[in-house]
Each structure stands twice: as structure tokens, then as C-alpha cells.
Chain A
Amino acid sequence: MQSVFHKNRIITLLKEQGIVIAFIVLISSIALVSDTFLTTENMLLVLRQVSIIGIMAIAMTYVIIGGNFDLSVGSLLSLTTVLMVDLHDKVGPLGAIIIVLIVGLTIGCINGLLIGFYSLNSLIVTLGMLPVLQGITLIYSGGKNVIIQNPEATWFSIFGRGFILGIPVPVIIFLGMALIFGIVLTKTIYGRKLFAVGGNQIASMFAGIRSKSVIFSTFLISSFATSIAGIIMASRVMSSQNNIGQGYELTVIAAVILGGTSLLGGSGSIFKTVIGVLIIGFVNNGLIMLGFPYYTQWLVTWVIIISAVWIDLSSKRGHVFA
């Protein structure tokens, strides 16, 4: 009796945490070959490298659970980074952060209004927003790179370069936000409403949930998180190219999907998104540690991602092939 109970628990665990198992397999196999890979130094490095993508990905998880996409996050990252860097020397760090957050939230409001309240398709709205934001970035900067003149002399450097108790600040922000996002999603009424809306918007309306506001809020959250990511990015590189962050939306969405969040909405988890983000980060870092020539890295990345998804799926199904 006892052993059957245990067996069932292990099976349930395997079924639910397939992606985590894939992640562990990945980490251990890279560690077997490279001796610099599994060091605290390298682990912290990867965590810091993925924190920007990660912050965007946990917010994207909300958007996707709500049944939508936000393709504008990559170019919003460009815009907020360029704004942050440029305004830093003009109005000071604090003023710049406030302006960046206001701009970010405004973009989120526009996306949210069109998608939530006017029920336009999120792919179209945010795909349209993508070049708009790129255009604004280019108009604002006049095509020139902007830099912060004295990167050493500003407290602003703490966001991207600082350490607290030996842990990089971007990592603390990332994991802190992931914790809050995770708790809100699983333990609050808002979280349950979001799952309901993503699962079936019409049913949720009959259940008395103001689904439009919920959708609206997810885009606000997404653009807020992207603005935070932009601030960290600005602090990390202390300068900005106009095309910084371009194409990030796909990496972000890939990380979320890798974490098992349903593209159709209604299911997903912040913890697994974090695992998805880590897989992408560790693959990129691990391939360099292993010394793969760069032109094979793209192929290898694809193979690893597909294998991870396969392990995840086959553990859910209970057998290797469909």
C-alpha cells in the first residue's frame, strides 16, 4: 500500500515536472564535459545574463495565460533602454526612471485598451506596435548611439552591475519579481480570475469576472516589467544602440512556451517559465563553455530545445512517442 502510494507520487511528479527533469539532465550533461561550467561564478553569471529576458518572460506568462501575445516587448525594451540612457545625464537617474516607467505604462495602456476593451486581436495590435516603437526610438535618438558619460560616478549602476551579499542585483530583482508573480498567480483572486479568463473568456464573463479589465491589466504588467528590464539593461551596458533588444520578443515567448504555458491560454506557471528561461540561458552559456564553433550553435540550440520539449511531453503522456 505504502509503496503504491509512493509510486503514484513519483509518477505524478514526473508528469508534472518533466521540464525540470529536462533542465537537470541538461545541466548535468554539460557539467560532465566542462569543468568551468558548474562553478558558482558561472552559475551567477548565467543568472545575471538571463535576468533581463527572465523579467520580461514572467510578465509574458501572464499575457499568454490570458490567451494573448505581446510581440512589442523587444522594441519596447529598445525604447526604454535608449530613453533611460539618454535621460540619465539630462534629468538625473531618478527622473529618468520615472519617465521610463510612465512611457512604458502608457504603451501598455494603449495595447491593453485595444486588446482588452476593444477586443482586437493581440497579435495584430502588438505586431503593429513593434515597428511603431522602433520608429519612435529612431526618431528620438536621431539614429545615434547614446551613452552615459560617467558610468562609474552614478548610483544608477547598482541596477545592472551591483551586488548584494555577493548576488548580482539584476538576479535579485528577477527572482524577487518571479516570487511575487508566482504568489499572485497561484494564491490570489486575481490569479484565479486570470486563469478563468484565459481558459474561457465568455464563461468567465458569465461568472461575473470583468474579463476585459483582467486582459487590460496583463498588458500593463507586461510593459511595466519590460520597462524594469530596460532600466537594468541601461545600467548594465551604460549605453544604447537603437537596435538593442530587437528580436527579444521571440526568445521571451520561447522561454514561456518551453516552460509549458499553453499557447491557447488558461494554464501556465511562473516557476516553469523561470526554468524555461534558465534552459535558454544555460544552453547559450554552455555551448560557449563546451567550445562549439558558433555556426553549429544554432543547430545545437534547436536540438536541445526540441529534446527538452520532448522530455516534457513524454513525461506527461507517460510514453516516449505519441
Chain B
Amino acid sequence: MTKKIVSVLFLSLFILIALVGCGATDSSTGNEGNKENNGDEKSNNEILIGITQNNVGIDSYQTTYENAFKDHAEDLGVRTIVLDAGGDVARQINQMEDLIQQNVDVIIVWPVNGKAIVPAARNAKEAGIPVLITNSPIDESGFDMVSGYTGPDNVLQGKLAAEMMIEALGGKGKVVEIMGLPGYVTSAERSQGFREEIEQNSEIEIIETQPGDWNREKGQRVMEDFLTKYREIDGVYSANDDMAAGAINALKESGRLEDVKITSSTLFAVGYDAIKRGELYGSVQQSPVEDAKLALETAIDIALGKEVPFFNYFETPKVTEENIDQFEKPIF
């Protein structure tokens, strides 16, 4: 009996210490943060911006993004702390805590997981440090915790691919869709944008959707299966150029490339070449350089205390054979 009481006492003591401890650090950093924010207009070199990215090095988009971010910060003379979560949610949350401790002016987060970072964003808000979400959206429950979002409009990118598909097929035909990794917001949003536009403004029928997991080899395999299953396919919508390239491989092998129009939602180097060769009808340019610049510039505006809109999209133009020469070939 006494043992039980002692352990309960200890437990409550621990909880008490933990609560007091957390509360103390939170309020102290919070005050400092507020003081700085209330200060006079700053010059760029007084601004310190921290960023924790999703997974640099896993693909060329993120690698290019990081380099563009650093370069642009140097050009603008802003001090930055550039971190990378390596695709690990727990590490990203730790990095956000670290950035709070270092009392940066703005924390930019490229969420590994839109839901898991909500509590960390709340901590930052309580510490008086604004959080800006970049590239991939945060879960809606976190909207109140953050100052805004910058990045591509994925619904629009799906819609643009649909417009090009309608144009290519003259408004009717049978289309298969190769979507991104299921459970990933980007996949769902692009698919949604594509479907809405097709359903509202054309007689095109989407006969089947399968995931290609953003992966060229998987995209190729799925397309091979589609080609065996359906004698008649007029169009293929692929959520990015990598999977489109896989689909083109499969179509070439079966000798049906001539009969099929392909559109995609993100332009990669393979897609650029494929458009030039006339194999890919069209794609949508989503530049990691623009993505990084917009994130940094919005963060600076927030640090300077300017009002920014919640959603900040950078432009993602349609790219087809007609206008491709106006665009640089992506390096990823």
C-alpha cells in the first residue's frame, strides 16, 4: 500500500516538474519572440530564417530547391539555418523545436507529414515564432497555427493537364489515369483537379485509375497492364513526367504510341525531351527554383511584419510542343 502511494506521489511530482519546466521555457522564448517582432523595421541581414525540409537528395526537385533557397538567401542578404528532416517525421519535429530554441524570425517547414507537425507548429506559435508551410500542405487542423502556405496549386496542375487532354482529344475519348502514391495529398489533389475538369467540360471517360507511386518503373508496369486489358485507349493522364515516361516506354513497345495522347502535371527533363519528340502532348511546369524563391520571399515579408495572404501559389504554366522553346529544360 505504502509502495503504491509513494509511486503515485513520485509520478505526480514528475508530471508537475515536467509541466512547470515546459511552461517556463515556452513563456520565456515567447516573450523574447514577441519583443523582437514588436521591434523596429529590420534590414534583411538582421533577419534569421530557419527551414526544415522534407527529404533533400531523394529526388532532384528537392535538391534543386535547397540550392535555389540558399542562393536566393545569399542574394537577398538574409541569414538562414537550412535543415533537412531526411523524410523522418520525428526528426522534423525535433528540428522545429531546435529552431524555436534558436529564436529564428520565421520557421519554414516542408512537411514530411501534414498531420504530425501540427503540435510542433502550435509550440512555435506559442513561442511567438511564425511558421510558413512550403510545397506540401499542412493538415487543416494546423491552419490556425501557421501564417501561410507557399507552393504549387496541385488541384490547378491537375486541371491544366485535363485542359490539355481535352484539347488533344477534341473533347471525347477513353482515358486512363496513372496517379501518384496513394495517401499523399499531392496525389489526391492532382487527381481531383483532373477529374473535375474532365467531368465538367468534356465527354471524355476516365476508364480506370491506378497508382504509379511517382515511380517510372511502376508507371510502366501499370501501363502495360492497361494496354493488355483495354483494346481502346485514347489518352493517358500521368500525375508526373516520370510515370509518363514509363507509360511512353510501354506504349512504344506495344506499338500503340501513335494512337494515344499523354498529358502530365509536372515537367521533368525526360518530359521536356518527350514533348520535343512529340511523344508527350503536354505537361505543367513546376519550378523548384520558383518554389524556393516564393517561400523565402514570403518568409521575409512575414519577418518584416507585412500582411501576407494565406495561400501563395507560384505560377505553373502549361507546356506543349508549341511553347516549349520558351522554357528551360529542367535539370531534374
**Which residues of chain A from 262 to 293 have any CB-CB distance to chain B below 8 Å in the complex?**
285, 288-289, 291
Which of A22-30, A68-76, A89-97, A230-238 lines the interface with chain B?
A230-238
Find residues 214-243 in chain A having any chain B CB closer than 8 Å to their own CB.
Answer: 233, 236-239, 241-243
Checking B62, B228, B245 against A36 with a beta-carbon cut-off of 8 angstroms, the contacting residue is B228
Is the beta-carbon distance between A238 and B249 smaller than 8 angstroms? yes
Would you give the shortest CB distance from B122 to chain A, in whole angstroms? 31
The verdict on B224 contacting chain A, using a C-beta distance below 8 Å, is yes
Assess whether A285 is in contact with B225, with CB atoms less than 8 Å apart: yes
CB neighbours (8 Å) of B56 from chain A are 143
In the docked arrangement, what's the CA distance between A36 and B233, Å? 15
Contact A45 B225 (CB under 8 A): yes
Kindly identify which residue among A142, A145, A244 contacts B217, using a CB–CB cutoff of 8 Å. Answer: A244
A285-303 contacts to B, CB under 8 A, are 285, 288-289, 291, 294-295
Q: Are A241 and B63 in contact (CB under 8 A)?
A: no
Interface positions, chain B 47-101, Cβ under 8 Å from A, are 56-60, 62-63
Main secondary structure of the interface of B (DSSP, over half): helix
Q: Least Cβ distance of B166 to chain A in Å? A: 25
A9 at the interface (CB under 8 A from B): no
List residues 240-284 of chain B with CB under 8 A from any CB of chain A: 242, 245-246, 249, 253, 268-270
Q: Are B228 and A42 in contact, with the CB atoms below 8 A?
A: yes
Query: Are A289 and B59 in touch, CB under 8 angstroms?
Result: no
Whether A239 pairs with B228 at a CB distance below 8 angstroms is no
Q: Which chain A residue shows the least CB distance to B214?
A: A241
Instruction: Mark contacts of B197-237 with chain A using CB atoms, 8 A cut-off: 1 yes-contact digit, 0 otherwise.
Output: 00000000000111100011100111011101100000000
Across the interface, name the chain B residue whose C-beta is closest to A149: B273
Residues of A within 8 Å of B242, CB to CB, are 145, 241
- The yes or no answer to A39 lying at the interface (CB within 8 A) is yes
> B227 — nearest CB in chain A belongs to which residue?
A45
Q: Which residues of A contact B211 (CB under 8 A)?
A: 294
How many residue pairs at the A-B interface have CB separations less than 8 Å?
Answer: 78
Expressed in whole angstroms, the Cα–Cα distance for A145 and B272 within the complex equals: 14
A237 to B60, CA, bound (A): 18
Contacting pair B217 A237 (CB below 8 A): yes
B280-317 vs A, CB cutoff 8 Å, 1 = contact: the mask equals: 00000000000000000000000000000000000000
Q: Which residues of A contact B5 (CB under 8 A)?
A: none
Q: Could you tell me the distance in whole angstroms from the C-beta of B287 to the nearest C-beta in chain A?
A: 16
Residues of A within 8 A of B184 (CB): none
The smallest beta-carbon distance between B80 and chain A, in angstroms, is 20
Query: Is the CB–CB distance between B216 and A242 below 8 Å?
Result: no
Tell me, in angstroms, the Cα distance from A161 to B208 when the chains sit together: 26
Given contacts A294-B209, A294-B210, contact A233 B57 (CB under 8 A): no
In the complex, whether A169 has a CB less than 8 A from a CB of chain B is: no
Question: In the bound complex, do residue B246 and residue A138 qualify as a contact, i.e. CB atoms below 8 Å apart?
Answer: no
B10 within 8 A of A: no
**CB atoms of B62 and A143 under 8 A apart:** yes
Interface contacts beyond A42-B228, A143-B59, A239-B270: sample of 12 additional A-B pairs, CB < 8 Å, sorted by A: A36-B229, A39-B228, A45-B225, A145-B269, A147-B269, A237-B249, A244-B215, A288-B210, A288-B225, A294-B182, A294-B211, A295-B182
Q: Please give me the 9 A-B residue pairs with the lowest Cβ-Cβ distance, nearest first.
A: A143-B57, A143-B63, A144-B60, A288-B225, A42-B228, A138-B57, A237-B217, A36-B229, A294-B211
